[in-house]
Structure 1
Amino acid sequence: MKIASVLEFETNNIEKAADQIKRLYSLFVSVDATQVEVNPFGETDTGKVVCFDAKITFDDNAAFRQSEIFKMNDETESDPREVEANKFNLNYIGLDGNIGCLVNGAGLAMATMDIIKLYGASPANFLDVGGSATAAQVKEAFKIISADSNVKAILVNIFGGIMKCDVIAQGIVDAVKEIGLNLPLIVRLSGTNMEKGNAILNESGLDISSATDLDDAALKAVEAIQTPKEKNKIKN
């Protein structure tokens, strides 16, 4: 009632508006929405309280509970790369830069993108393979990233917890061989089985640049796409 009053509905419509607001909240919870926007929300000259227009955004993580809603998604309106990523449970968002990023964990992905910007370049995407990615998912992630013509180098930044670095390393090697990757590839592995993972990369015979930490990885990725003059500018 207080919200309806603050919205300055006519006195006779306050109770109706309050009921609509409660129903909107129930809808928000029941469909796992991240946003329910009603604009405008008003009243007619005949005393009806009406939601004249509405927009609802749903939580992708709740797709398993809201299967009927997600079946209505029109994939033709989405970025085809995001659609392809969703098929393999990969979280992908395309950006405008030229360094492709493959990372596990949203926080690590954000940190990776930030440090790429710090060294003077821009990320081409946000791609989070999650905390338990398989070699097959890594392979698909490489296919999606390398399909972007703007990508001039790829940076892989993996922290192995539940996900083991050697599994990821094997996925990287398989992906590079299968798609015939001809872009500079920088890989930083840390955590569970990182020694085994680095050994797989080093013994693969592929042109993969290993990095010791995130700073080293980002710097190598940025240098890989820059001219000698630009590289000297970074070092100075």
Structure 2
Amino acid sequence: MSLPFTIEPLTETALVLRWPAQICPVTQAQIHAIAALLRQWPGLQECVPTYHCLAVYSDPARPPLHAPMLAQWLRQKEKLWRKPRVEHGRLRTLPVCYELGDDLIEVASHCELPPEEVVARHCQPTYRVCFLGFSPGFAYLSGLDPTLATPRRAQPRTEIPAGAVAIGGAQTGLYPSATPGGWQIIGRSPQPLLDLSQSPPTWLQAGDRLKFEAISPAQYAQLQEASPCWT
């Protein structure tokens, strides 16, 4: 049986597994199932997922990992990743104050929905943390209700606050630290998402599942003052 991805050289010590270029829950489940399997491979240094690719880095001090070798190994393990459990991964719940979303009204207007309906639809899905990127800990999430898809801002902001929850096109994402950005900000969370004193330093990991929980401005202030614990 043919593999649903290609395996290509990336560097002398790295390979990339490449699926069709789309955001697909089946592809995501396969990527994270294969990454979990490969972490048992002797000499593996790191697996880096994206929406439709998985980069595999091997230890330069060990014999390189060749594409035919990896393909053969994955065919032997095919039952473990071909149809993995979609619900695989930790389930996290993130409190979000949507009243603090600078662009919530603009997003609601674009989607032709009342703001409270945007909030309800944004909280309904269980999202998948597809990968972390752009800045340390920035979480790219799949699962956004298609009716909430909104183009990025024509003029990006020079600074978006830490904890911002945003929509960019058909994606939703989380800003773990204050950075420039062009996504539409629909809410803010008091939960710390990046802490360099922790190991790992990000509250979310690729492959996690995530639910949003709407909270009031008063609850946001209370949680922020209480310094939410890193759990």
Tell me which interval the TM-score lies in, with the shorter structure as reference length. under 0.3
Task: Provide the TM-score with structure 2 as the length reference.
Answer: 0.27
Report the structure number with the largest CA radius of gyration. Answer: 1
Higher strand share: 2
